[in-house]
């Protein structure tokens, strides 16, 4: 996980926000079709109204592209 993502996940105060404030959705890569059971990597996105988790196979080119875009290549 990138240091930037780890920093943004730190709570801003002592109390953690309610889960209702950050609804999440799990997505599956349309290229490798990995699931939580078969995937070896995940991409987290906090854009929009949801925290999205996208599963990928370790060798998936979409996962590699996500790492490049995040600066973790």
Over the stretch 27-42, which tens digit does the pLDDT of each residue have?
Answer: 889 999 998 888 888 8
Residues 3-62 have pLDDT tens digits of 444 443 444 444 445 555 667 888 889 999 998 888 888 888 887 777 888 889 989 999
Q: Which of 22, 30, 24, 73 is nearest to 55 (CA)?
A: 30
pLDDT at res. 2: 45
Q: Which residues are within 8 A (CB) of 17 and not within 5 positions of it... i.e. 6 or more apart?
A: 11
- Whether the model pTM is above 0.75: no
Residues in CB range of 70: below 8 A, 6 or more apart: 2, 4, 5
Instruction: Report CA torsion sign: 64, 70, 71, 72.
Output: negative
| pLDDT value for 12 | 44
């Amino acid at each position: 996980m990138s240091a930037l993502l780890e920093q943004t996940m730190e709570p801003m105060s002592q109390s953690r926000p309610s889960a209702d404030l950050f609804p999440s959705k799990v997505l599956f890569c349309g290229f490798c079709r990995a699931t939580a059971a078969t995937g070896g990597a995940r991409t987290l996105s906090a854009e929009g109204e949801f925290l999205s988790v996208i599963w990928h196979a370790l060798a998936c080119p979409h996962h590699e592209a996500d790492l490049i875009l995040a600066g973790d290549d």
